Amino acid sequence: MVRLTPIAERQLDLLKDAEYERMAEALDLLESFPMLGKAYAQDSPFADKEARYFVVRVARRRALRISYRVLDESVVVLYLYPATYPLTHPDHLKLFKGDK
């Protein structure tokens, strides 16, 4: 099960329809494979929360990072923020359906 924090819900509601659909597909994927995302580095503020992240390309030049935690049997989405690094390193996006 995927649960969103109030902040993540607001951020999801602000997306355009096409971006929303891509994020919904990514959240479905994370529900089935929660360990697919990478763990944050030890020097990150999210490391102590055991958070993970997954980057999704939602448009040609726009990607969003899903920050989440796995609690019991659910994925709790903390934030959805723009991610710029993967656009300069497209190999990081190959896990998500639709990228070649």
Between 46-50, 77-81, 85-89, the lowest mean confidence (pLDDT) is in: 85-89
H or E element at residue 2: strand 2-4
Domain that holds residue 68: 2-93
The pLDDT of residue 99: 46
Total domains, the chain: 1
90-98 long-range contacts, Cβ below 8 Å, gap at least 24?
92/55, 93/55, 93/56, 93/57, 93/63, 95/36, 96/26, 96/29, 96/55, 96/56, 96/57, 97/25, 97/29, 98/57
Structure token pair of residue 8: 């993540």
The pLDDT of residue 82: 85
| Global confidence as pTM | 0.77
Average pLDDT, the chain: 83
Residue 86 lies in a domain: yes
Q: What is the CATH number of the domain that holds 31?
A: 3.30.2310.20
Residue 99 lies in a domain: no
The pLDDT of residue 97: 46
The distance in angstroms from the start CA to the end CA of the chain is 28
